[in-house]
């Protein structure tokens, strides 16, 4: 089933680790470009880099939601 997410841009808050990371990887696997927003800057960059290493687009947005 093609979920037709190719080319969509997804922002995943808390995307550096845990469920958020899995969500980011899953969306990326479906072709979405993924922005990882997380307070854990290093972990967020690591997750984004791993997605880029897999040949997909991803960037890291370190920051606080509040």
Q: Which residues bind another protein (CB under 8 A)?
A: 1-3, 29-30
> C-beta of 41: minimal distance to another protein in Å?
30
> C-beta of 44: minimal distance to another protein in Å?
25
What is the DSSP annotation of the chain? -----TT-EEEEETTTSHHHHHHHHHHHHTT-EEEEEES-HHHHHHHHHHHHHTT--EEEEE----
> C-beta of 55: minimal distance to another protein in Å?
18
Q: Which is nearer to another protein, 30 or 46 (CB)?
A: 30
């Amino acid at each position: 089933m093609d979920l037709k997410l190719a080319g969509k841009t997804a922002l995943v808050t808390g995307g550096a680790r845990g469920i958020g990371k899995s969500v980011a990887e899953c969306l990326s696997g479906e072709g979405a470009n993924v922005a990882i927003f997380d307070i854990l800057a290093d972990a967020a960059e690591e997750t984004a880099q791993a997605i880029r290493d897999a040949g997909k687009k991803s960037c890291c947005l370190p920051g606080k939601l509040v």
